[in-house]
């Protein structure tokens, strides 16, 4: 789904001072009958943009699952959508601890406007909760469960 929709990260390096951004292009695949960005495309790619942020911070040592996703549609999107991801609290200490954790994210979805006066129009806001588990923790649980069954 992410590959077909065409969502891309805007900045490769994660910086705490600037929000993480991902861009969803305005393509035929993402449009509805009214020539606006389909609501399902905006919603589904919210989870993908949030997951890209969490994986970018945690790296490949964690498994991440979206537990809760709440999206509020504000207006139709008639251009490329930009997802600006901000965590509600600091994620680095949670990753450094090496334990399971939940992280709450706020995603502001804005439409890129090419007119110089307007800049950006917010088309939606999304609140997401991701659960991250270290892969080694999951592996230890699987081994423990196998030994209990025997």
CATH code where residue 10 lies: 3.10.129.10
Indicate the burial class of 104 (C-beta count within 10 angstroms; 0-12, 13-18, 19 or more).
middle
Q: How many domains, in total, are found in the chain? A: 1
Buried b or exposed e, range 57-75, using 16+ CB within 10 angstroms: bbeeebebebeebebeeee
- What is the span of the domain harbouring residue 144? 2-149
Mean pLDDT, residues 81-106 taken together: 92
Q: Do residues 4 and 29 make contact, with C-beta atoms less than 8 angstroms apart?
A: yes
User: What pLDDT digit, counting tens, does each position of 10-50 carry?
Assistant: 765 666 667 788 888 888 877 888 888 888 889 999 999 99
């Amino acid at each position: 789904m992410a590959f077909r929709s065409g969502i891309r990260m805007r900045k490769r390096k994660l910086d705490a001072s600037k929000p993480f951004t991902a861009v969803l292009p305005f393509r035929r695949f993402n449009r509805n009958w009214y020539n606006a960005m389909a609501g399902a495309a905006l919603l589904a790619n919210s989870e993908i943009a949030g997951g890209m942020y969490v994986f970018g911070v945690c790296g490949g040592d964690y498994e991440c699952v979206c537990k809760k996703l709440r999206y509020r549609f504000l207006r139709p999107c008639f251009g490329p959508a930009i997802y600006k991801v901000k965590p509600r609290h600091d994620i680095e200490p949670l990753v450094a601890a090496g334990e399971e954790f939940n992280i709450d994210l706020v995603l502001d979805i804005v439409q890129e406007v090419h007119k110089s006066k307007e800049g950006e129009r917010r088309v939606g806001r999304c609140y997401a909760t991701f659960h991250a588990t270290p892969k080694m923790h999951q592996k230890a649980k699987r081994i423990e469960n196998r030994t209990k069954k025997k």
